[in-house]
Amino acid sequence: MPNEDDLERLHLLDVVMNKGISILSRDELERLYDLLEQKDYSHDAKAQKSKKKLLKKISIAIYDYDVKYGNSFKTS
C-alpha cells in the first residue's frame, strides 16, 4: 500500500511526464528530488538509470530557476 510520500512522488512524476519539468515550482522540484533520492531502485537497473538522469535534470532545473529569478542557493 503506497504511503503519502509515494503518492506525492507519483503525482509529481506524472506532472513532469505530462507537462514537463519547467511547470514545477522550485519547492516542488526540491521535494521531487528528495523523494526520488529516498526511493530505492537498486533492484531494477533501468529504473535506477532513469532515476539518475531525472535527478540530474531536476538539479539543472533548480539551478536555472535560481539564475532566472535571482535566488541564492539554499544552504539548509
Confidence class of residue 72 from pLDDT cuts 50, 70 and 90?
Answer: low
Question: What pLDDT sits at residue 76?
Answer: 45
Q: For 35-53, how does the pLDDT look when each residue is reduced to its tens digit (9 = 90+)?
A: 999 999 999 999 999 999 9
DSSP-assigned states of every residue in the chain: ---HHHHHHHHHHHHHHHH-GGGS-HHHHHHHHHHHHHS--TT-HHHHHHHHHHHHHHHHHHHHHHHHHTPPPP--
Instruction: Please tell me the pTM assigned to this model.
Output: 0.85
Across 15-19, 26-30, 60-64, 65-69, least confident range: 65-69
Q: What is the mean pLDDT of residues 14-33?
A: 95
Instruction: Report yes or no: 50 and 13 within 8 Å, Cβ to Cβ.
Output: no
Rounded distance between C-alpha atoms, residue 44 and residue 42, angstroms? 5
